Chain A
Amino acid sequence: MSASVLHPSLRTGTIAGLGLAVLFVLSLAVGVSPLPLGRVLSDPEALQLLLVSRLPRTLAAILSGAGLAIAGLIMQTLARNRFVEPATAGTAQSAELGILLVTLLFPAAALPVKTLVAGGAALLGTSIFLATAHRLPPAQPFLVPLFGIVYGGVIGAAATYAAWQADLLQFLAVWTNGDFSGVLRGRYELLWISALMVAIAWFVADRLTIMALGREASIGLGIDYARMMQIGLVLVSVITALAVAVVGMIPFVGLAVPNIVSRLMGDNVRGTLGWVAAGGAGLVLACDIVGRLIRYPYEIPVGTVMGVVGGAIFLWLLFRRGAHA
């Protein structure tokens, strides 16, 4: 199965890898204080800047971008609907509400603890979303994302109200709008867990492809559908909660990247997973670089840039696919 998907795209793979490498170097070079990459080895201050700020920021963008794109792919598989993603269907909002509540009740809790609570809340919120989504008539594919947007909106409103009451609206903005400007060494490493989640997704890739064929096809092929559903839910929730807690939520990555890859290469997850992860990493990294350059030396948060770029991509997908989605 995998061989037939991979071989015609070897050249495209090289080009994509080069593109990602260029973005990586650009991201290391671009910032308020100039960083001459050629002198990094001889200039200890430049090396310090690279290791403490630029490299962590770049890695954070790659890890969260790849993770969120994979989370979108998994969520679309679980919901059997192409137009849902963690940012719009209640997962991110639940994580935000969870981390807000733990911050209110235990302000001194460490980041890993808060992330864990956010992950638990995301798991609960996403389970409720999927349980409801599976009851909606499959003949009307737009009901699921519509329901998701309303559902996510309600949870988001609850979080906003709670934050407003507690005078924590500024905190909430940190979690709801992704921004890499605060990323430093020692403050992003939790995101490596996202890479672990992506690795698990790779391990169960064939099962994810089969799950997209539906419950009955999955059982017929001997897959423990209920358990795979739980695994998928955990992957989506953990990745989303990590993004929310560490850098803030980034919208549209989970929607745009899996859809574009599906258009170009199909839905055999074993063959597309790497592309989805690389696409998510590249898109987020590119948007972060754009956000650093557009009002130089000031910065625009990556979440805002992605809102514009991702929204445009989403509209394009909607109009291209039309009603037969």
Chain B
Amino acid sequence: MIRIENVSFKHRTTPILTDVSLTIPKGGVVALIGPNGAGKSSLLSLVARLQPLQAGAIDIDGLPVDTTPGRELARVVAILRQDTTVASRLKVRELVGFGRFPHGRGRLIEADHAIIDAAIAQFDLADLADRFIETLSGGQRQRALVAMAFAQGTDYLLLDEPLNNLDMYYARELMRSLRSVADGKGKTVVIVLHDINQASAHADRIVAMKGGRVVADGTPAEILTPETLEAVFGFRMRVETIADKPFVLHQL
């Protein structure tokens, strides 16, 4: 369980998050949605202790993120940031392999190699495994980074706009992979999404943020209504139900 209690965060004097409290139970896919600048990425990076907590408390499975040793947390939670650039000349297999670093401190045993191979296969990277990251397209690189986060093998997976650069096929594949690790292995996935319909199709729960606060929280059917969406994004959009799921026609 991730527990976020009364978290506020400022960048210099600008408030980014104001008194956010949220409980995410173990298992399932939670989508964070909201307009640009709502504080979604900041919340995710605070949970992943990439930035120091200023006010409030966050713990994951009872481990406070600000005082638990980084090495211990790295076996519990993995994060993929949205603006990750890899300037190093590493091969795909090497990069994915570094996802195992928190477990063996760089020494890979048989079990590690099996996990690395599985992550490479899962994201269709087998043909690219011996290529340098810098020679890949944006989408291929994104898949390699997601595979690295998967290889870390943590119970909690935080993904900040992982669908960036991915085409429709791989975006759907990634969402289905997330769904299957949540269902099959009881993992908890928290994912920032701009494509609301992906959230509708694959998430159990949607948390909507605006102006540094949580403004709506519920199942896709509860959140994806014209009224709530207008309150979050500031304009009216049509919502249709297809295959029992709400789909938002925000392009119209």
Contact = CB atoms under 8 A, between A and B. Distances in A.
Interface of A: 1, 4-5, 80, 138, 205-207, 209-210, 212-217, 219-224, 262-263, 266-268, 270
Contacts of A207: 106
Central interface residue in A1, A219, A220, by most chain B CB within 10 Å = A220
Contact of B88 (A213, A223, A263): A213
Central interface residue in B90, B101, B130, by most chain A CB within 10 Å = B101
A227 to B, nearest CB: 10
A266 B105 contact: no
Given A1-B94, A266-B94, A266-B132, A222 B102 contact: yes
A209 B90 contact: yes
Contacts of A223: 70-71, 101
Nearest to B69: A222
A212 B87 contact: yes
Contacts of A263: 89
B93 A4 contact: yes
A220 B94 contact: no
Interface string B34-50: 00000000000100111
Given A206-B106, A209-B88, A266-B89, A222 B94 contact: no
Interface stretch (B7-15, B72-80, B185-193, B214-222): B72-80
A1 B106 contact: yes
A214 B86 CA distance: 8
Contacts of A262: 89
A301 to B, nearest CB: 34
Given A209-B90, A215-B50, 9 more contacts: A1-B98, A1-B106, A5-B94, A213-B88, A216-B45, A220-B79, A221-B98, A223-B71, A266-B91
A44 B90 CA distance: 52
B86 A213 contact: yes
A262 B97 CA distance: 19
Contacts of B78: 220
Nearest to B80: A220
7 contacts: A80-B87, A210-B101, A216-B79, A220-B79, A222-B73, A266-B88, A270-B106
A219 B101 contact: no
Interface residues of B, number: 35
B70 A219 contact: yes
A219 B49 CA distance: 8
B72 A219 contact: no
B108 interface: yes
A262 B94 CA distance: 14
A215 B81 CA distance: 12
B152 interface: yes
Given A216-B81, A266-B94, A266-B132, A224 B87 contact: no
Contacts of B67: none
B54 interface: no
A206 B105 contact: yes
Nearest to B158: A220
Interface string B175-186: 000000000000
A268 B101 contact: no
B123 to A, nearest CB: 18
A221 B101 contact: yes
A217 B84 contact: yes
Contacts of A268: 90-91, 94
A5 B99 CA distance: 18
Contacts of A220: 48, 50, 74, 78-79
Given A1-B108, A4-B93, A222 B72 contact: yes
A210 B88 CA distance: 9
A4 B89 contact: no
A222 B101 contact: yes
B93 A267 contact: no
A122 to B, nearest CB: 25
